[in-house]
Structure 1
Protein backbone atom coordinates (compact mmCIF):
# COMPACT_ATOMS: atom_id res chain seq x y z
CA UNK A 1 0.00 0.00 0.00
CA UNK A 2 1.34 3.41 -0.91
CA UNK A 3 0.26 6.90 0.15
CA UNK A 4 -2.42 7.29 -2.53
CA UNK A 5 -3.89 3.86 -1.69
CA UNK A 6 -4.04 4.88 1.97
CA UNK A 7 -5.75 8.17 1.08
CA UNK A 8 -8.31 6.29 -1.03
CA UNK A 9 -9.01 3.86 1.82
CA UNK A 10 -9.32 6.65 4.39
CA UNK A 11 -11.72 8.59 2.18
CA UNK A 12 -13.90 5.55 1.57
CA UNK A 13 -13.98 4.41 5.22
CA UNK A 14 -14.69 7.87 6.62
CA UNK A 15 -17.11 8.91 3.87
CA UNK A 16 -15.08 12.03 3.03
CA UNK A 17 -13.47 13.36 -0.11
CA UNK A 18 -10.01 12.26 -1.17
CA UNK A 19 -8.83 15.87 -0.74
CA UNK A 20 -10.00 15.90 2.88
CA UNK A 21 -8.40 12.50 3.52
CA UNK A 22 -5.12 13.71 1.99
CA UNK A 23 -5.18 16.83 4.17
CA UNK A 24 -5.86 14.73 7.29
CA UNK A 25 -3.06 12.28 6.50
CA UNK A 26 -0.56 15.06 5.79
CA UNK A 27 -1.54 16.78 9.03
CA UNK A 28 -1.03 13.55 10.97
CA UNK A 29 2.37 12.90 9.39
CA UNK A 30 3.45 16.52 9.91
CA UNK A 31 2.51 16.46 13.59
CA UNK A 32 4.33 13.16 14.16
CA UNK A 33 7.42 14.60 12.46
CA UNK A 34 7.32 17.81 14.55
CA UNK A 35 7.00 15.85 17.77
CA UNK A 36 9.88 13.53 16.89
CA UNK A 37 12.09 16.50 15.92
CA UNK A 38 11.54 17.89 19.42
CA UNK A 39 12.68 14.56 20.85
CA UNK A 40 9.23 13.54 22.05
CA UNK A 41 7.71 10.10 21.73
CA UNK A 42 4.47 9.56 19.76
CA UNK A 43 2.27 6.77 21.04
CA UNK A 44 -1.02 5.45 19.68
CA UNK A 45 -2.37 2.91 22.16
CA UNK A 46 -2.88 -0.45 20.50
CA UNK A 47 -1.18 0.60 17.27
CA UNK A 48 2.37 1.43 18.29
CA UNK A 49 4.83 4.14 19.16
CA UNK A 50 7.56 6.11 17.43
CA UNK A 51 10.64 7.37 19.24
CA UNK A 52 14.01 8.88 18.38
CA UNK A 53 17.26 7.39 19.59
CA UNK A 54 20.86 8.41 19.09
CA UNK A 55 23.13 6.09 17.11
CA UNK A 56 26.74 6.60 18.19
CA UNK A 57 29.58 7.21 15.76
CA UNK A 58 31.35 4.03 14.75
CA UNK A 59 33.83 2.54 12.34
CA UNK A 60 32.69 0.51 9.38
CA UNK A 61 34.18 -0.98 6.24
CA UNK A 62 33.74 -0.04 2.62
CA UNK A 63 32.55 -3.33 1.08
CA UNK A 64 34.22 -2.59 -2.27
CA UNK A 65 37.68 -1.71 -0.97
CA UNK A 66 37.72 -3.17 2.53
CA UNK A 67 39.05 0.13 3.92
CA UNK A 68 37.93 1.31 7.34
CA UNK A 69 35.64 4.34 7.26
CA UNK A 70 34.14 6.52 9.97
CA UNK A 71 30.35 6.53 10.20
CA UNK A 72 29.01 9.69 11.83
CA UNK A 73 26.61 9.70 14.77
CA UNK A 74 22.97 10.36 13.92
CA UNK A 75 19.43 10.25 15.23
CA UNK A 76 17.24 7.39 14.04
CA UNK A 77 13.48 6.92 14.26
CA UNK A 78 12.27 3.65 15.79
CA UNK A 79 8.78 2.17 15.64
CA UNK A 80 7.50 -0.43 18.06
CA UNK A 81 4.22 -2.10 17.19
CA UNK A 82 1.51 -2.17 19.83
CA UNK A 83 -0.06 -5.38 21.10
CA UNK A 84 -3.30 -4.99 19.12
CA UNK A 85 -1.41 -4.48 15.87
CA UNK A 86 0.94 -7.37 16.59
CA UNK A 87 -1.94 -9.68 17.41
CA UNK A 88 -3.91 -8.72 14.28
CA UNK A 89 -1.06 -9.72 11.97
CA UNK A 90 -0.50 -13.08 13.59
Structure 2
Protein backbone atom coordinates (compact mmCIF):
# COMPACT_ATOMS: atom_id res chain seq x y z
CA UNK A 1 0.00 0.00 0.00
CA UNK A 2 1.22 3.47 -0.76
CA UNK A 3 -0.09 6.95 0.02
CA UNK A 4 -2.28 7.11 -3.09
CA UNK A 5 -3.99 3.78 -2.35
CA UNK A 6 -4.56 4.93 1.24
CA UNK A 7 -6.26 8.08 -0.07
CA UNK A 8 -8.39 5.97 -2.43
CA UNK A 9 -9.47 3.62 0.40
CA UNK A 10 -10.28 6.53 2.71
CA UNK A 11 -12.32 8.15 -0.08
CA UNK A 12 -14.40 4.99 -0.55
CA UNK A 13 -14.77 3.95 3.11
CA UNK A 14 -15.46 7.42 4.55
CA UNK A 15 -17.40 8.80 1.59
CA UNK A 16 -15.04 11.73 1.15
CA UNK A 17 -13.99 13.45 -2.04
CA UNK A 18 -10.47 12.73 -3.25
CA UNK A 19 -9.12 16.18 -2.18
CA UNK A 20 -10.71 15.79 1.27
CA UNK A 21 -9.23 12.32 1.71
CA UNK A 22 -5.82 13.57 0.54
CA UNK A 23 -6.02 16.40 3.08
CA UNK A 24 -6.84 13.96 5.92
CA UNK A 25 -3.86 11.76 5.00
CA UNK A 26 -1.57 14.81 4.70
CA UNK A 27 -2.66 16.16 8.10
CA UNK A 28 -2.15 12.73 9.70
CA UNK A 29 1.37 12.22 8.36
CA UNK A 30 2.40 15.86 8.91
CA UNK A 31 1.28 15.68 12.54
CA UNK A 32 3.16 12.41 13.06
CA UNK A 33 6.32 13.88 11.53
CA UNK A 34 6.05 17.08 13.59
CA UNK A 35 5.54 15.09 16.80
CA UNK A 36 8.59 12.91 16.09
CA UNK A 37 10.66 15.97 15.11
CA UNK A 38 9.89 17.54 18.48
CA UNK A 39 11.21 14.39 20.19
CA UNK A 40 7.87 12.94 21.26
CA UNK A 41 6.46 9.47 20.72
CA UNK A 42 3.54 8.56 18.43
CA UNK A 43 1.44 5.61 19.56
CA UNK A 44 -1.54 3.97 17.88
CA UNK A 45 -2.74 1.47 20.52
CA UNK A 46 -2.59 -2.13 19.36
CA UNK A 47 -1.16 -1.18 15.97
CA UNK A 48 2.25 0.41 16.37
CA UNK A 49 4.36 3.13 17.91
CA UNK A 50 7.00 5.41 16.48
CA UNK A 51 9.78 6.92 18.54
CA UNK A 52 13.11 8.65 18.06
CA UNK A 53 16.40 7.04 19.07
CA UNK A 54 19.38 9.25 19.78
CA UNK A 55 22.88 8.13 18.84
CA UNK A 56 26.09 9.64 20.20
CA UNK A 57 28.93 10.67 17.95
CA UNK A 58 31.50 7.96 17.33
CA UNK A 59 34.53 7.10 15.22
CA UNK A 60 33.80 4.70 12.39
CA UNK A 61 35.74 3.36 9.43
CA UNK A 62 35.30 3.93 5.74
CA UNK A 63 34.81 0.37 4.40
CA UNK A 64 36.58 1.15 1.11
CA UNK A 65 39.68 2.87 2.41
CA UNK A 66 39.78 1.72 6.04
CA UNK A 67 40.38 5.32 7.19
CA UNK A 68 38.87 6.51 10.46
CA UNK A 69 35.86 8.78 10.02
CA UNK A 70 34.08 10.86 12.65
CA UNK A 71 30.34 10.17 12.67
CA UNK A 72 28.21 12.99 14.08
CA UNK A 73 25.51 12.38 16.68
CA UNK A 74 22.11 11.79 15.13
CA UNK A 75 18.47 11.00 15.78
CA UNK A 76 16.57 8.35 13.82
CA UNK A 77 12.87 7.39 13.86
CA UNK A 78 11.98 3.80 14.78
CA UNK A 79 8.83 1.71 14.39
CA UNK A 80 7.65 -0.85 16.93
CA UNK A 81 4.87 -3.24 16.02
CA UNK A 82 1.86 -3.56 18.35
CA UNK A 83 0.42 -6.81 19.68
CA UNK A 84 -2.77 -6.74 17.61
CA UNK A 85 -0.83 -6.14 14.39
CA UNK A 86 1.53 -9.03 15.20
CA UNK A 87 -1.45 -11.32 15.67
CA UNK A 88 -3.04 -10.24 12.36
CA UNK A 89 0.17 -10.79 10.42
CA UNK A 90 1.05 -14.11 12.03
CA UNK A 91 -2.15 -15.67 13.45
TM-score by length of 2: 0.88
**Offset at residue 4 of structure 1 (A):** 1.1
What is the deviation of 1:60?
A: 1.7
Could you tell me which residue of structure 2 aligns to residue 14 of structure 1?
A: 14
The offset of 1:15, in angstroms, is 2.0
The gaps in structure 1 that reach 5 residues or longer are none
> 2-side partners of 1:63 and 1:18: how far apart?
48
The match for 2:54 is: 54
| Displacement of 1:53 | 1.8
The aligned residue for residue 31 of structure 2 is 31
RMSD of aligned C-alpha atoms? 1.2
Runs of 4+ with >4 A deviation = none
Structure 1 length as normaliser, TM-score?
Answer: 0.89
Q: In the comparison of the two structures, how many residue pairs are matched?
A: 90
